[in-house]
Each structure stands twice: as structure tokens, then as C-alpha cells.
Structure 1
Amino acid sequence: MTFMEYQKETGATAIYPKEKALEYLALGLTSEAGEVAGKVKKLIRDKKGIMNDADAAAIRAELGDVLWYISELCNLMEMPMHLVAAANLKKLDARKHNNTISGDGDNR
């Protein structure tokens, strides 16, 4: 499946108040990312960071929810996900080339 195909599919399952789309999607993304973090936190606390297949499946499900919200934000902004992914890789490659992957700031 391509990013474009995924974006079309998420658009078909999107049910939320369109007049508050940006707020709804940003909050949903934050919420789902928090669920990923919570599952990882509990792995560290309860299982000494050792992940089994069930843990991986639960995290994968939450990552899918994160991806859905990213896709819908891209749809809202009429922004193809593959361009977002490509721009991110280009940015990271430049940081690697400039030896600035570590550190702070958006424009390293």
C-alpha cells in the first residue's frame, strides 16, 4: 500500500466535526502518541523493557492510530504524505551530512 492509497482510505473513515478539524486531529494525534508512550512506559516499569509479541501488537495498533491522524492532518492540508516523508528524510540527511543530528532546534 502506498501513502496515497492510505490517505484515500483514511479519508473514507473520517468522522469528526469538520469545522473543528484541525483541533480535533491535532488533539487526536497527541492522544494516540500518548497511548504509544504509555505502553512503552509500562513495558519499562512492569517488564524491564522486554517486549513480547502481544506487547508489540498492542503498540503496533496504537502506531496505526497515530498514522491515521497524521494521514488526516495531511488530507486537511491537502498535503501528500509521501512528500512529508520525503521532506523529512531530506532534512535528516542534511543533518547527518552537517553532523547536526544531535542537538536542539528545528533548523539545525
Structure 2
Amino acid sequence: AMRTCRSPNLNHAVFGLCSEAGEVSGIMQKVFQGHKFDKNHIVKELGDCLWMIAEACSALDITFEEVMDLNIEKLKKRYPDGFEEEKSIFRNKNDI
């Protein structure tokens, strides 16, 4: 992704991610309204979301792998035995 990025910018990445996530949401809104689901379109928009995440990672000088590993560790701590609604609702004080 960074081959096609002028210079990684966290603001651009965050605003772009919001915009692209909105496009994904818009596709599902159309389905809710009775339109045919367009898998190819949603896959392209998800790719755009990933591109924006790649830019954010680059701007923060971290890798996708670091983000994924940190998220996995966070979820293992929060849900050691698998997802539980109770643990989702009542989190520890510093669990973000």
C-alpha cells in the first residue's frame, strides 16, 4: 500500500478509514433496502479500508502484524475462555 502513498499521514488515514468504512456501511444499507448484495463492491471497499489502516500503521511506525498481535493479546486477556457478554459489558478499568 505504501508504494502508492505519497507520505503516510495519520490524519489522512483516520479520516479516510472513516470514509471507506462508511462506503462499506452504505453497501449494507442498500441491501437492507432491498438491493442485491454486491460482494465484489464490498470487497473493493474493504480493500480501501485496509489501505487506510496500512497508511495509519506506517504513520505510527508499526506493522499490521504488531497491531494484530496486540489485538489478539488484548482479546485473550479479556475473554480467556471465549466471548462472554458479561465480560464485554463489565470490563476492567483500564481495558480499552
TM-score scaled by length of structure 2: 0.79
Distance 1:23 1:56 in 2: 29
Does structure 1 residue 86 correspond to structure 2 residue 73? no
% identical equivalent positions: 32
* CA positional deviation for 1:13: 0.3
* CA positional deviation for 1:22: 2.0
**What residue in structure 2 maps to residue 67 of structure 1?**
50
Does structure 1 residue 22 correspond to structure 2 residue 10? yes
Q: How many pairs does the alignment contain?
A: 90
Distance 2:41 2:61 in 1: 30
Gaps of 5+ in 1: 1-9
Gaps of 5+ in 2: none
* CA positional deviation for 1:63: 0.3
* CA positional deviation for 1:93: 1.7
Please state which structure has a larger fraction of its residues in helix.
1
Greater RCO, CA 8 A, separation 6+: 1
* CA positional deviation for 1:104: 6.8
What is the one-letter code of the residue matched to 2:75? L
